[in-house]
A and B are shown apart, each in its own frame.
Chain A
Amino acid sequence: MNFYFPTVFIPFSGATVAAGFPSPAEDYTELSLDLNSHLIDRPYTTFCIRVRGNSMEGARVYDGDMLLVDRSISPQNGHIVIGVLDGEFTVKRLRIDQGQMYLLPEHPAYDPIKINHENDFKVWGVVTYVIHKA
C-alpha cells in the first residue's frame, strides 16, 4: 500500500514570483509549516552532526541518526552533549555529581567516563533533537 504525504513546503524568502494573475493563496504562504523554525531556535549556533555506533541507544540515538546541536545552550546535568575529550568528538549524557563530571553512554557494552584533571575536556554543544528515519 502506498501512502502519499504532503511535502512540507518551506517558503524560500526572496523567491521571485512569475508575472500573471496573482494566486489567491499568495498571501498565505507564511502559514506553511517550517521545520527549520520548529526544530532550531538559533540557526547561527546550531549544527548538524551524524552519529555512527550504538553507544547512546538507551537515549534513542541510533546508528546513522542525525543530531541537531546548539552551541549556545549552556550544558546542564542530564543534557546529551557533544564533547571533545582529548581532541576527539564523543556523544554522551553529561552527569555532574558534586562537582565531578561524567560522560555516560547509554548502552551496556560501553563504560562511563570519569573526567579527570589530566583529561582535556570541553563541551562542544548540547544536542537538542535526534532525527531518526522511521
Chain B
Amino acid sequence: MYALIDCNNFYASCERVFQPQLEKRPIVVLSNNDGCIIARSNEAKVLGIPMGIPVFQVEALLRQYQVKVFSSNYALYGDLSHRVMQSLQAFAPAMEVYSIDEAFLDLRKIPFYDLEKWAQTLKQNIQQWTGIPISIGIAPTKTLAKIANRYAKAFLPSEGIFIIEDDPTAEIALAATPIEDVWGIGRRYKRLLHSHQIFNAFQLVQAPESWIQKHLKVVGLRMLRELRGEVCYGLTLEPHPKKGICVSRSFRQATSHFGTIQEVVSTFAARCGEKLRKQKSCANLLYLFLFTNAYQDASPPQMYSKVIYLPVATHNSFELVKMALTALDLIFKEEYRYKKVGIMVTGITPESHVQTSLFDKPDPQHLNQKRVLKAVDALNRKLGRDKIRIAIQGYGWQPSQAHRSPCYTTRWEDIPTIDERRDFRGKPLSPRPHKD
C-alpha cells in the first residue's frame, strides 16, 4: 500500500503557523510579483475567489471580506515543507518527496489492520509538530492513493483520511473522480475521453485495455492498470536532478525601456548562473523569452524568444549575462511594451563532466572569473542576495512583495516575538505583532 500525504492549502497554512489569530480567517497568497492569487485558505475558496486570478480583478471582494493577503514567502514555505517531510520520515520506511507539499510513503511494512489508526496518528502528529494540516489517501497504487487523497479532501474534510482497501471503496472514490483529475490525464485526453462518454475514473477502468492502449498509448495502459490496483510505479527515491532552470517574472507595468529590460535580463542570467553553481552543474543552452503586453490593443500577447547555444557548458555568470544580452539585442523591438521576461538554461551536465571543445584552450581569465564568482557567491550567501553583482544588473531589480510575512524560521531578525509587556493598567504595552 502507498499513502499520498498532501498539505492542505499549504502556503496559506504556513502563514497561519506563526499568526494563530488568522485561524478561520480567509487568506490568499500572491504569486512572485504580487500578480495573481496562487493559494487560498478554505475560507477564501468559499468566498468564490478563483485560483490563478490576477489580484486586481478581485480587489473589491478581498476588501469586502477582509481577506488577509500575503506575498509569497518561499523561505518560510521551503523551511516548513522540509520540516513536514522530515517528520513524515519517522512514519514509514521509504518516502518520495513529490512536491513542496506532497509526499508518497511506502506502507508495505505496516500491518494492514492498523492503517486507519496509523493514518490518524500521523495526521495528528504532523499537525501538532509542524502546525501544518494534512490529508492522507491510502491505496494499493500511487495513482489510486492520489485519488483517495482527493476524495478525502473533497468529501471527508473533517477526517481528512480515505483508504481504498477493497473493490467497494475503490468504486466510491473512482466514481467521484472526474477523469481530468486522474494523474496523467491532460486537456487533450480529457477531450478524447469525453467524446467517448467517459467522464469519471470509474468509467475509465471499465474501458477495454486494447481501446486504452490504442488511444492513450502505453502510458495510458499503465495508468489503467494502476487504477485497477496493479502497481506500475514504485517510489522514486532519488531527487530528480534539475533538467532546466528558469527565472522569469511579470512586470507590474509593461515597459518598453531598453535599460530596464537589460537590467532584468542580466539579473536573471546571473541568477541562473548562481543556481547552476549551487547545484554544481553547467548548462549549454540559454533561452531568452519576452512577452508583449496582453491587454495592449486587446491582441493576444506575443512571445519573442531566442536560443543561444554555448560551445562549452558553463555556470559562469559573466558569460551567461553576455549571451543573454546578445540574445536580447537580437529580439528587442522598441515599439513593443513588454510584460514578462524570462531566461531558461538547459542542457545541464554536472560540472565535472563538462566537455571542452577541441579549440578551447584553458583561459587564464576564465579561471580568474571562476575564483571571483566563488567569492561573490560566498559573500552573497552571507550578506544577502545580489549584494555583490555585475554592474549591468543595475541597482537590484526586486520583485514587488508588498505583503510578505517575516521569514520566521530562516532569519534571526525575523524570529517570532511574544510580547508580554503591560502598562500600569495591565493593558498590553504594544499592539500584538503582526495583527491588523
Contacts and interface: CB of A to CB of B under 8 A. Distances in A.
Contacts of A48: 409, 412, 415
Interface string B414-436: 01111111100000011010000
A30 B168 CA distance: 55
Given A44-B83, A44-B129, A54-B421, 6 more contacts: A49-B416, A51-B418, A53-B418, A55-B420, A84-B20, A91-B418
A109 interface: yes
A71 B420 contact: no
A44 B87 contact: yes
A2 B280 CA distance: 43
Contact of B422 (A63, A82, A84, A109): A109
A66 interface: yes
Q: Nearest 7 CB-CB pairs, A to B?
A: A53-B420, A87-B21, A53-B421, A44-B86, A55-B420, A45-B129, A84-B20
A32 B39 CA distance: 44
Interface size bucket, B side? 20 to 34
A66 B418 CA distance: 10
A128 to B, nearest CB: 14
B335 to A, nearest CB: 49
Contacts of B432: 88
Interface of A: 43-45, 47-56, 63, 66, 71-72, 82, 84, 87-91, 105, 109-110, 122, 124
Contacts of B416: 47, 49-50, 89
A84 B418 CA distance: 11
A88 B129 contact: no
Contacts of A88: 20-21, 432
A112 to B, nearest CB: 13
A109 B426 CA distance: 8
B82 interface: yes
B177 interface: no
Given A71-B130, A88-B20, A51 B83 contact: no
Contact of A51 (B82, B130, B408, B417): B417
Contacts of A82: 418
B301 interface: no
A105 B20 CA distance: 21
